[in-house]
Structure 1
Amino acid sequence: MKKKVALITGVSSGIGRATAELLARKGYQVFGGVRTPEKAHAINGVTLVQIDVRDEASIKAGVESVLQQAGRIDVLINNAGYSIVGAVEETSPEEAQALFDTNLFGVLRMSRAVLPAMRAQGSGRIVNLSSVLGFLPAPFMGLYAATKHAVEGLSESLDHEVRNFGIRVILIQPSFTRTGLDTNAAPTAERIPAYVDQFQRTVAAVTATIKAAPEPENVAGRILQAIEAPYRMRHPGDRKAALLAKLRRFMPAGPVDKSLRKEFALS
C-alpha cells in the first residue's frame, strides 16, 4: 500500500514542525514547506520544499515539485502564519494587509494550487489551522483574530464547493500554544499612549497563559486524529479550546463577555 502524501506549510518551527515529525513517524510521505530551505533545520523523514505562501510562483513550483516526486497530494495542511499585537486603532492598513496576505491569502493560494490534483485523483483533505480566536474576540490581537475568523468562513464555504469531488476541508482550532507564534508576535509600529496601561496588563495575562499552555506536539496529535478519523469539520486543538467552543455556543453572551474580559485582564 502506497504511503499517503502530506504537504505542510510553515514547518520551520512550532505546530508545523511537530506535525511534520509526527506524520513522518506514522508512515506518511511528508513534504514540508519553508521559505528558505538552506536555513531550515532538517526534519527526519521529511522532504523540505521551498514555498513562500505569499508568492504564487513559489507555491506553483513547490506544489509541482511534490507532484513530480510523489505523484499525488492526499493532505494539505495550511499551517504557515504569524501574529501581530496592538490595539486595532494602532494597526496600520499596511500591517493588516501583510497579515491577511499570509494568514488568509496564503491559505487561498495553497488551496488553489493543490485542488486540481485532488480533483483529478477524486480525494483529498485540506486542513486549515484556525484558532479559538477564529470564533472569539482577541483584544490587542484584533487583526490576527480577523484573519482566523476569515479562515473559518473560507473553509466552510470551500468544503461545500469541493465535497462532490471527494475532498473535505478541516479546521483545527488550538487555544494559546507554546510556540514562537504566540510568544514572539511582532508589535504594531504605532503606540498610542491611551492604550499602554491596558496593553501591558493584557500582554502579561496572555504571557502567563502561554507558560501553562500545551506544547505544539499536542496540536499535532489532534491534526493526525482529524485526518484519520471519520470526517468532522471543526476540531479543537486542546481541552481548553473544546471548553471555549462549548461556552461560546451554549452560554449567554453576557457571561461569556465577562469571562473573556477577566481572561485578558481588561478593566
Structure 2
Amino acid sequence: MTHPQTWFITGTSRGLGKALAEEALRAGHRVVATTRVEGALLEHERLSVCHLDVRDRQACHETVRKAVEQHGAIDVLVNNAGYGLVGAIEEVSEEEARAIIDTDLLGALWLTQAVLPFMRAQRSGHIIQVSSVGGVGALPFFGLYNAAKWGLEGFSEALAGELKEFGIGVTLAEVGAMDTQWATRSMQFSVPLAAYDDCRERFLGTVSVPWASEPEATGGGTNPTEIAQDLLRHVNGATAGDRLRLLMGSDAPGQVAAVLRQRRSDYELDPRFTAAAANCKI
C-alpha cells in the first residue's frame, strides 16, 4: 500500500465484517463500518461507525454520500452484510424469501449503485462482493440463500465488464466454511414440513430445526482474520483488477471443483456441448 485508503464495510458486528474492519485499521486505512449492534467494534481514530439497514436504498445512498463528504472518497466497498436461511423450497415463506433477497442481494446492489458515481469520478476504486461457495453451487435446504448469492455473482460479473474503463475493480470473494457464528447464531430457519424430515436428516444430520447452539458457538472452518488478511493483500496486489473470482478458505477450492465437475458432466450429456468444448479446448 502506498497511501491510506477509505474502506466502507457492511455487516461489521461480528464475523468476517468485523475482522475486515480490524485488519484494515491495522493496515493504516480509514474504515466506515456499518453495524446494527452498538459497541461491536472498539473505538479508533480512523473508524467511523454508523447504523445502516442495507435493505433501504435511500439510506444506502445517504450513508455513502456522508462518508464521501467526511473522508473525501471511498476507495473500497465491501458488501458483507447478509445471513443464511435453512428451509426446503416448499417451506420458505414469502416474507422469508423477500427478506433474504432484500438483504443478501439487493442490499449489495443498492450500495454498489451508491458508490459508483463517486468511484467513476475519481476513476479508481474496488468493490468486494462477499459471496460464497454457495454462489457457485446449491445444496438442499439452502435454496434461497443460494439464489441470493447466484444473483450477486450474476450482476457482479456484468458489473466487472462495465467498470473496466473507469479503473474500478470488482472481486467476488467466494468464501467457504468460516469459524464464525454464521451457521449458528446468525442462521434463520423456515418452519419445517414433516414430509422433508428424511431428506433433512440425510443432508443436515438432524430433523430438528432450528438446531440448538450456544450463543458463542461457531461453525468451524477458516479463521475470518485469515480471510480478511487475504482480501487486503488481494485489493492492494498487482493483479487485483484482473481477477473476478477469489476462493477464500481452505475448503473452498475443493467445493468449487466438485460443483464444476458435476455441472460439466451434466452438459456433456449433450453431444453438441462435447463438440463445442473440444473446439474451445476446455
**Common topology (TM > 0.5):** yes
1:42 paired residue number:
42
2:10 paired residue number:
9
1:243 paired residue number:
254
Structure 1 residue 213 corresponds to structure 2 residue 214:
no
Aligned length: 249
What letter matches 1:109 in structure 2? W
What letter matches 2:42 in structure 1? A
Gaps of 5+ in 2: 212-217, 267-282
State the Cα distance separating 1:197 from its structure 2 match.
3.5
What letter matches 1:17 in structure 2? K
- Partner of 2:258, secondary structure, is helix
2:62 paired residue number:
61
2:274 paired residue number:
none
State the Cα distance separating 1:253 from its structure 2 match.
3.5
State the Cα distance separating 1:109 from its structure 2 match.
0.2
1:104 paired residue number:
105
CA distance, structure 1, for counterparts of residue 68 and residue 176 of structure 2: 33
Out of 214, 234, 243, the position equivalent to 1:226 is: 234
CA distance, structure 2, for counterparts of residue 17 and residue 106 of structure 1: 18
Q: How do 1:183-198 and structure 2 match up within 5 A?
A: 183-184=184-185, 185-188=187-190, 190-198=191-199
CA displacement, residues 23-51 of structure 1 (integer Å, 9 cap, x when unaligned): 11011111101235x45443544221222
CA distance, structure 2, for counterparts of residue 253 and residue 49 of structure 1: 47
What letter matches 1:187 in structure 2? F
State the Cα distance separating 1:61 from its structure 2 match.
2.4
CA displacement, residues 136-192 of structure 1 (integer Å, 9 cap, x when unaligned): 11111111011111111110001111111111210001112122222231111x321
2:31 paired residue number:
30
State the Cα distance separating 1:73 from its structure 2 match.
0.6
State the Cα distance separating 1:83 from its structure 2 match.
1.0
Q: CA RMSD in A?
A: 2.0
CA displacement, residues 55-74 of structure 1 (integer Å, 9 cap, x when unaligned): 12321221122111110011
Structure 1 residue 19 corresponds to structure 2 residue 20:
yes
2:280 paired residue number:
none
- Partner of 1:104, secondary structure, is helix
What letter matches 2:258 in structure 1? L
Q: How do 1:140-179 and structure 2 match up within 5 A?
A: 140-179=141-180
1:82/1:103 contact within 8 Å kept: yes
CA distance, structure 2, for counterparts of residue 83 and residue 211 of structure 1: 12
2:177/2:249 contact within 8 Å kept: no
- Partner of 1:66, secondary structure, is helix
State the Cα distance separating 1:250 from its structure 2 match.
4.6
How has the CA–CA distance of structure 1 residues 5 and 83 changed in structure 2, closer, same or farther, with 3 Å as cutoff? same
CA distance, structure 1, for counterparts of residue 137 and residue 192 of structure 2: 24
Q: How many percent of aligned residue pairs carry the same amino acid?
A: 37
CA distance, structure 2, for counterparts of residue 65 and residue 180 of structure 1: 31
- Partner of 2:182, secondary structure, is helix
Gaps of 5+ in 1: 255-267
CA distance, structure 2, for counterparts of residue 170 and residue 15 of structure 1: 16
How has the CA–CA distance of structure 1 residues 212 and 40 changed in structure 2, closer, same or farther, with 3 Å as cutoff? closer
State the Cα distance separating 1:97 from its structure 2 match.
1.1
What letter matches 2:127 in structure 1? I
- Partner of 2:117, secondary structure, is helix
- Partner of 2:32, secondary structure, is strand
* Further displaced range: 105-114 or 178-187: 178-187
CA distance, structure 2, for counterparts of residue 248 and residue 193 of structure 1: 29
Structure with the greater alpha carbon radius of gyration: 2
1:21/1:46 contact within 8 Å kept: no
